[in-house]
Structure 1
Amino acid sequence: MLNLKPEVDTVEYSERGTIQQNHGRHHHAVVVQGNEDEPGSVYQLSWKTIIAFISLSMANSCAALANTANTVIKFQVASVAKSPADAALASWIANGSFLVVVALGPIFGSLSDRVGKKWFMVCGAILGLIGSIIAGKADNILQIIGGNILNGAANAGCIVSISAIQEIIPNKLRPWAMGASQAMASAFVVLDTFLAAAFVKMNAGGADGWR
């Protein structure tokens, strides 16, 4: 069998040529040449990759937003607590979500490497939407806790987007891509906090405000 091992130092493009095998037939093949940063890679950054990057960054932002439950506990409890027992359950609004993330995060991460990341993120986004609706419309503490547990599962699914971003972006652009993705998540978290404060300040949703 013909052994092709071109010695290339820094070439970052591919060439299409004709390889003649020992049995005489000709086949067209891509001769891949790479450098140390991208060994044997012919991957090119395209507009589809950019759209995928933005989508994955938004999934990462959703995961970051799911972690802000700690900042809104007292507003949620004040509006729906009906007894001291309800107030005693307040810590589970955040802990329910946190414990689910801690439990499912490593499992989802390991499985996504084997079966693919797409449906973990898609299902995570759907669970996050359902959990947010349940927690947002809740009229008792247990419903808020249940909604945030779903948000924890959503967080564990959406956070897979971080590794997905690194897989679709070339090595030399990964630091910039991760910086942009985390900056987007941070911006949404800050905006979310100000929006929550504005809802409280303007008593949005009624005399007692909305959460």
Structure 2
Amino acid sequence: MTRLGLISDVHGDPVGLELAWSHLMVMGADLIVCAGDLVGYGPFPDRVLAFVTDRRIPSIRGNHDRWALERGPGEPDEFGGGTPAPETLEDLRALEPSLVLEREGKVVVVVHGSPRGDMEFITPRSHPPRILDALLATLGADVLVHGHTHRPMWYRSASGGLVVNPGSIVSVPVVESSRSFAMLDLKAMAVTFHDVESGRLLEVSPWPGSE
């Protein structure tokens, strides 16, 4: 199992989710994982959770997922998203804030914001190479996958470790979105980024200071 499909920040958009899933299946993904924020902003949280559950897509809990749980049943989303049904909230409650996978002798850690919390943004200014190197070393990870920023990124350390954000899937006018997903080849330790609608390859420049 060498090819991991990476998605994040679905935000209640089942159409974008289904498109990304379809492209990744055609591309030969062995497993698809989600870096959180399944709900919020978009109108169809129940459809998103049903899709993820039915297809057994491992996902973690993002900040919008956590906020939905904190609001509780029937409470409206202050960001305009659809109100999750009680069954959807139960599915969200079952999610963990992080996920560790071992594939092809590689350790992959999946978080939403950063390992320090679901609200921390990983940006070039806040996370230069020395910080990303330290995170990989502290976690004992070969790959760190995160989301939250809605912007795709990749960083390769001198030791060959990777930090990857696949970008966001959601397409609603109230939030910025890259409309992208990623494919991670663990054997080659390489990542590619793709457009949600067409599946076409997107060019994403390496993180400043990437090896």
TM-score of the aligned structures, taking structure 1 as reference length: 0.22
Kindly name which structure, 1 or 2, has the bigger radius of gyration based on alpha carbons: 1
- Whose helix fraction is larger, Structure 1's or Structure 2's? 1
TM-score of the aligned structures, taking structure 2 as reference length: 0.22
